[in-house]
């Protein structure tokens, strides 16, 4: 349906087409597409027994079923819509509907039922029994239970009479629309029978009357006794029927009837004059002729009857009028008579020109619908006509489904129609080339179903409040496009190729239709840019069911969406394709970033901690450190390689240690280093007896390439004071600090060092040391590193390495690695 609809004849005019009835049934019943079973036209001879229990909508039409049995319906307690038309049904087991108490819509038309079946369905709203074979309209007594029946179709080619008690069981019902007749003439109509359904508001008669026009008059008198305001007559006068008398004279005294529709009928101009005179003298407000073959049997054409009063008729609809004589009808009309006419529709009638000043001079015409003709710019605005005072009251103009091309020209012409508010140019061949200058009074424009493209926005009036650009080949919508419409409230963009709803789109927009595009998600940000929005139609888009749609699916107030949940289906990822979005479940956790972070952070920390613990438990830190030292030593070692050769040191290293640690030094250190070919100056062994210890130290240090301290708590307590002294006396040796190597036999917290050992504190804080590992495998590594160091390393490198280690291993607890801190 066209959401645009600026054109509607009267408020309560309902174009009840069959399709609409089905749509209504569908809309009122079905809550999910998955509950729809369409088995129409599948050559089934039986209704399948394994239908989903949840089925709400079942269409089994066009299958050779012959009979409806109970079994398949036993579990269908949710069934609300059942359609079984054209199935050759002769019999319906009365038990079928016992199991379907929720049925609201039942269509068993066009079958071979010989009796109207018994039905007790209190919720039934729409029942179609037309096109069957029953020979009487006698309704079963059970119809008295159809308390909510609102629409009833009855019709059989075999039912040729209406008896007085036929509709007795519906006398207390709320039936408001009856469609009756099988397209065959009735032979008898008992006066008073239809009058029993007092609640009737609309009647469609599918019965021709030619022979027995008095039956028709009786029927109208009965209709007068109901609430009927709408009367539709289908093929009321058969082709080539000689109408005698004036059967519609009765209309003049039927005060309630407001709308009369004549459908599928041959009408001669002589009959037309007679008919219209009755209408003009009646209370009828709206007259519709649809699918009429019009034949001019009066030689001087059609002359409107002249009346000396103004009539109440306000709407006139001519839809699909064929001219039997293949010539333009001659119409003589006194526009003054139609002083109350405000709605005129002439459509589907191949009109290509509008007679000058005929239509345009209707004094109160507010709506003109010339859709579905073959009009062009020059047909609607013929150059021979003056356009000065045209359409004095026209507010809505539909030129839909014609052959208009030139938007610029049309925009110019609308300046003449001073009150025109809305213009419908949908389904034309509009071409955009020249700039358009629109009058200020046009606030509503439809250009839907034209091949326009993204540039269309720059051809529109800034005064527009409603714009319909459905199906106009738009591929992208930008904020800038809408900036020029400060008053825009309604925008219809259905059936385009738009992928994204931009943010900050429009502060004024109240209604946005963007269904059937390529939108994959509707974001919170997009809707935040539409603060006034009350209606968003966004169904039938290829939605991605992921976190992108999480907000839309969970947080958005669905009262905004008229088409939720039916038209919202997941498209991707493939695992959920075709799943109704309303049934897609995702956890809040997995989609909300702050929640994720809130959970992920502790988890990550736990994992890191666990890894660290494992790493530490396996002495990963130590190995890493040693590997690091080794790599650095090797890399920079090459540069230093010649140093040893070029100097004249007696020893590779001077080793200083405490007596307490002599066992270790003698059993491990000395063999390991001397075994590698290094020469050592050892404190106890090589010190010259009698010499002051500091002199000994100086001698040894000066004769050695490196000085190796085996640090333990003992060493610190008993030996180090000498070295503090040594360093105090030989400040110059500070430059050689690089040659100092420390081995830590046991952990020595820096803080525990006596404050006076400033040098040691500083050295240990700045310089590297090797820890003696307890683990034997690690000891191998230790020796390799130590030897390398004594041979080549420069302490500056080692210092850098130590600093780096300190920074990269910051997770190591204090007490375990105090000197790094
Ligand atoms: C029932 O089905 C027939 C055949 O499809 C259709 O023409 C008719 O309009 C349907 N009745 C209603 C009330 O929709
Ligand atoms: C059911 O299927 C038939 C033919 O397959 C189709 O014409 C009809 O529109 C479908 N009905 C619905 C409600 O989808
Ligand atoms: C329908 O089924 C019958 C047999 O059950 C078969 O003879 C017939 O050819 C089928 N018709 C179609 C259109 O498939
Ligand atoms: C009939 O329908 C109306 C709404 O259409 C509902 O309020 C009412 O309860 C229904 N009556 C019965 C008997 O179901
Ligand atoms: C229709 O009913 C009104 C009273 O409501 C009455 O005056 C009028 O004569 C009736 N017309 C016919 C044709 O029965
Ligand atoms: C219309 O006029 C033709 C003759 O011109 C006549 O044969 C036919 O019966 C008339 N039909 C009606 C409905 O008056
Ligand atoms: C209609 O009337 C004309 C003469 O007025 C007559 O020739 C013709 O046979 C009649 N047609 C029918 C269907 O009665
Ligand atoms: C139009 O009316 C004729 C009878 O006058 C009928 O045969 C035809 O089916 C109708 N067309 C439509 C689309 O209803
Ligand atoms: C016009 O109205 C007058 C009284 O208002 C009436 O006497 C006369 O018959 C009417 N003429 C017609 C053609 O209805
Ligand atoms: C959704 O919006 C409607 C109308 O705007 C309001 O009545 C309703 O309470 C809202 N629902 C929720 C869950 O916020």
Segment 324-344, tens digit of pLDDT: 876 665 666 667 777 788 999
Positive or negative, the CA dihedral 235, 240, 243, 249 is positive
Provide the 3-class DSSP secondary structure of residue 661: helix
* Whether the CB of 43 sits within 6 Å of ligand 3: yes
* Whether the CB of 63 sits within 6 Å of ligand 3: no
* Whether the CB of 66 sits within 6 Å of ligand 3: no
Per-residue pLDDT tens digits for 750-763: 777 777 677 777 77
Contact status, residue 104 vs residue 83, Cβ threshold 8 Å: no
Tell how far CA 402 is from the center of its chain: 33
Q: How far is the CA of 246 from the centre of ligand 6 (A)?
A: 14
Residue found by looking up tokens 């956790």 in the block = 589
Q: Supply φ then ψ for residue 671, to 5 degrees.
A: -60, -40
* Whether the CB of 210 sits within 6 Å of ligand 6: no
Which of 223, 257, 216 has its CA nearest to residue 238? Answer: 216
Domain-wise residue ranges, the chain: 593-617, 620-820
Q: Name the pLDDT band for 651 (thresholds 50, 70, 90).
A: confident
- Strand pairing category for 188-189 and 177-180: unpaired
Q: How far is the CA of 268 from the centre of ligand 6 (A)?
A: 6
* pLDDT higher than 90, residue 298: no
Contact status, residue 76 vs residue 102, Cβ threshold 8 Å: no
Q: For the chain, give the percent of residues with pLDDT over 70.
A: 82
Contact status, residue 163 vs residue 140, Cβ threshold 8 Å: no
Q: How far is the CA of 43 from the centre of ligand 3 (A)?
A: 6
Average model confidence (pLDDT) across the chain: 82
- What are the distances in angstroms from CA 313 to CA 309, 321, 365, 670? 12, 20, 12, 125
Cβ-Cβ contacts under 8 Å for 796 (sequence gap 6 or more): 738
Residue found by looking up tokens 């016992």 in the block = 98
Which of 294, 291, 248 has its CA nearest to residue 267? Answer: 294
Q: Name the pLDDT band for 738 (thresholds 50, 70, 90).
A: low
Q: Which of 450-459, 564-573, 667-676 is predicted most confidently?
A: 450-459
Distance CA 97, CA 82 (A): 10
Per-residue pLDDT, 207: 94
For the CA of 43, the nearest ligand = 3
Listed range (158-162, 605-609, 801-805) with the worst mean pLDDT:
801-805
Distance CA 10, CA 676 (A): 111
Distance CA 67, CA 46 (A): 8
Distance CA 253, CA 284 (A): 11
Per-residue pLDDT, 562: 92
Per-residue pLDDT, 712: 83
Positive or negative, the CA dihedral 683, 689, 693, 699 is negative
Per-residue pLDDT tens digits for 59-90: 999 999 989 999 999 999 999 999 999 999 99
Nearest CA to ligand 1 atom 5: 85
The topology (CATH level 3) of 620-820 is Rossmann fold (3.40.50)
- Residues 38-46 have a mean pLDDT of 93
For the CA of 28, the nearest ligand = 4
Distance CA 100, CA 683 (A): 107
- What are the distances in angstroms from CA 697 to CA 663, 686, 739? 21, 10, 14
Element (H, E) at 685: helix 683-686
> CA angle, corner 98, sides to 84 and 93, nearest 5?
55
Instruction: Please list, residue by residue across 588-623, b when 16 or more beta carbons sit within 10 angstroms of its beta carbon and e when fewer do.
Output: eeebeeeeeeeeeeeeeeeeeeeeeeebbeebebbb
- Residues 450-466 have a mean pLDDT of 95
* Whether the CB of 59 sits within 6 Å of ligand 2: yes
Nearest CA to ligand 6 atom 6: 240
* Whether the CB of 291 sits within 6 Å of ligand 8: yes
Cβ-Cβ contacts under 8 Å for 631 (sequence gap 6 or more): none
Atom of ligand 1 nearest to the CA of 126: 13
Structure tokens given for 245: 């008398």
For the CA of 177, the nearest ligand = 1
* pLDDT higher than 90, residue 441: yes
Task: Tell me the Ramachandran region of residue 542: left when phi exceeds 0, alpha when psi lies from -120 to 50, beta otherwise.
Answer: beta
* Whether the CB of 39 sits within 6 Å of ligand 2: no
Per-residue pLDDT, 221: 94
* pLDDT higher than 90, residue 684: no
Which of 203, 206, 251 has its CA nearest to residue 226? Answer: 203
Listed range (43-57, 107-121, 297-311, 609-623) with the worst mean pLDDT:
609-623
Provide the 3-class DSSP secondary structure of residue 737: helix
Per-residue pLDDT, 125: 93
Provide the 3-class DSSP secondary structure of residue 315: strand
Cβ-Cβ contacts under 8 Å for 166 (sequence gap 6 or more): 136, 137, 138, 139, 193
Q: Name the pLDDT band for 628 (thresholds 50, 70, 90).
A: low
Per-residue pLDDT, 2: 37
Per-residue pLDDT tens digits for 105-151: 999 999 999 999 999 999 999 999 999 999 999 999 999 999 999 99
Provide the 3-class DSSP secondary structure of residue 806: helix
Which of 733, 721, 583, 610 has its CA nearest to residue 658? Answer: 721
- What are the distances in angstroms from CA 190 to CA 133, 162, 187, 615, 657? 21, 6, 10, 101, 133
Distance CA 577, CA 749 (A): 65
Per-residue pLDDT, 575: 87
Nearest CA to ligand 4 atom 3: 148
Q: Count of CB atoms within 10 A of residue 267's CB?
A: 20
- Residues 780-807 have a mean pLDDT of 63
Contact status, residue 523 vs residue 499, Cβ threshold 8 Å: no
Q: Which of 237, 240, 296, 299 to mutate to test the pocket of ligand 6 (most atoms within 8 A of CB)?
A: 240
Q: Supply φ then ψ for residue 88, to 5 degrees.
A: 60, 25
* pLDDT higher than 70, residue 730: no
Element (H, E) at 400: none
Nearest CA to ligand 7 atom 8: 242
Positive or negative, the CA dihedral 385, 387, 393, 398 is positive
| Cα Rg of the chain (Å, integer) | 49
| More reliable by pLDDT, 103 or 594 | 103
Per-residue pLDDT, 242: 78
- Beta bridge partners of residue 466, listed in sequence order: 444, 490
Positive or negative, the CA dihedral 582, 587, 590, 593 is positive
* Whether the CB of 243 sits within 6 Å of ligand 6: yes
* Whether the CB of 29 sits within 6 Å of ligand 2: no
């Amino acid at each position: 349906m066209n959401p645009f609809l600026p054109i509607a004849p009267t408020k309560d005019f309902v174009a009840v087409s069959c399709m609409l009835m089905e749509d209504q049934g569908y809309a009122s019943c079905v809550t999910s597409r998955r509950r729809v079973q369409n088995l129409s036209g599948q050559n089934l001879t039986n209704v399948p027994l394994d239908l989903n229990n949840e089925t709400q909508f079942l269409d089994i039409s066009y299958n050779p079923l012959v009979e409806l049995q109970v079994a398949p319906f036993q579990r269908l307690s949710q069934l609300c819509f059942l359609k079984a038309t054209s199935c050759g049904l002769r019999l319906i087991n009365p038990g079928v509907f016992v199991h379907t108490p929720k049925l609201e819509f039942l269509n068993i038309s066009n079958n071979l039922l010989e009796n109207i079946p018994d039905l007790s369905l209190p919720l039934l709203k729409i029942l179609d029994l037309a096109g069957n074979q029953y020979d009487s309209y006698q309704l079963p007594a059970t119809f008295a239970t159809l308390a909510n029946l609102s629409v009833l179709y009855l019709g059989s080619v075999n039912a040729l009479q209406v008896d007085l008690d036929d509709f007795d069981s519906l006398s207390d019902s709320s039936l408001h629309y009856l469609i009756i007749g099988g397209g065959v003439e009735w032979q008898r109509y008992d006066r008073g029978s239809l009058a029993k359904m007092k609640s009737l508001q609309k009647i469609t008669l599918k019965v021709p009357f030619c022979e027995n026009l008095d039956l028709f008059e009786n029927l109208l008198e009965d209709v007068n006794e109901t609430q009927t305001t709408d009367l539709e007559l289908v093929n009321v006068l058969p082709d080539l029927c000689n109408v005698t008398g004036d059967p519609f004279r009765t209309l003049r005294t039927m005060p309630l009837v407001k709308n009369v529709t004549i459908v599928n009928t041959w009408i001669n101009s002589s009959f037309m004059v007679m008919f219209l005179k009755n209408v003009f003298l009646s209370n009828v407000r709206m007259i519709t002729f649809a699918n009429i073959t019009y034949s001019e049997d009066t030689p001087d054409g059609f002359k409107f009857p002249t009346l000396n009063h103004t009539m109440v008729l306000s709407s006139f609809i001519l839809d699909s009028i064929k001219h039997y004589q293949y010539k333009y009808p001659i119409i003589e009309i006194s526009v003054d008579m139609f002083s109350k006419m405000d709605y005129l529709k002439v459509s589907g009638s191949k009109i290509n020109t509008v007679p000058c000043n005929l239509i345009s001079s209707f004094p109160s015409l507010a709506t003109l619908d010339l859709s579905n003709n073959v009009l062009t710019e020059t047909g609607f605005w013929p150059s021979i006509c003056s356009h000065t005072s045209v359409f004095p009251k026209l507010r809505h103009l539909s030129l839909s489904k014609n052959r208009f091309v030139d938007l610029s020209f049309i925009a110019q012409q609308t300046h003449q129609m001073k009150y025109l508010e809305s213009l419908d140019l949908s389904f034309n061949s509009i071409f955009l080339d020249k700039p358009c200058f629109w009058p200020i009074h046009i606030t509503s424009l439809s250009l839907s179903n034209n091949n326009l493209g993204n540039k269309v926005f720059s051809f529109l009036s800034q005064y527009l409040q409603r714009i319909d650009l459905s199906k106009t080949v738009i591929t992208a919508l930008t904020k800038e496009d809408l900036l020029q419409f400060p008053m825009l409230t309604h925008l219809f963009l259905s059936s385009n190729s738009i992928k994204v709803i931009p943010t900050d789109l429009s502060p004024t927009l109240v209604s946005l239709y963007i269904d059937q595009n390529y939108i994959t998600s509707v974001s919170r940000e997009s809707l935040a840019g539409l603060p006034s929005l009350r209606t968003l139609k966004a169904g039938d888009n290829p939605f991605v069911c992921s976190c992108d749609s999480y907000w839309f699916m969970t947080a958005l107030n669905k009262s905004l969406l008229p088409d939720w949940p039916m038209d919202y289906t997941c498209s991707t990822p493939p695992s959920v394709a075709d799943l109704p979005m309303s049934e897609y479940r995702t956890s809040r956790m997995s989609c909300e970033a702050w929640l994720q972070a809130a959970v992920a952070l502790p988890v990550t920390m736990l994992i890191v901690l666990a890894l660290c613990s494992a790493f530490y438990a396996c002495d990963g830190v130590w190995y890493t450190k040693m590997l690091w030292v080794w790599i650095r030593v090797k890399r920079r070692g090459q540069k230093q390689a010649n140093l040893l050769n070029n100097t004249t040191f007696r020893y590779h290293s001077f080793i200083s240690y405490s007596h307490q640690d002599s066992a270790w030094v003698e059993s491990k250190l000395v063999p390991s280093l001397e075994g590698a070919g290094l020469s050592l100056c050892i404190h106890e062994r090589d010190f010259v007896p009698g010499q002051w210890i500091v002199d000994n130290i100086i001698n040894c240090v000066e004769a050695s390439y490196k000085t190796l301290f085996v640090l333990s708590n003992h060493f610190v307590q008993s030996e180090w004071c000498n070295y503090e002294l040594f360093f105090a006396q030989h400040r110059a040796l500070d430059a050689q600090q690089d040659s100092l190597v420390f081995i830590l036999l046991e952990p020595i917290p820096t803080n525990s060092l006596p404050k006076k050992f400033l040098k040691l504190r500083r050295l240990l804080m700045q310089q590297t040391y090797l820890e003696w590992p307890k683990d034997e495998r690690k000891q191998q590594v230790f020796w390799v590193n130590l030897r390398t160091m004594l041979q080549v390393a420069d302490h500056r490198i080692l210092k850098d390495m130590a600093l780096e280690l300190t920074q990269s291993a910051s997770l190591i607890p204090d007490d375990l690695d105090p000197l790094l801190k």
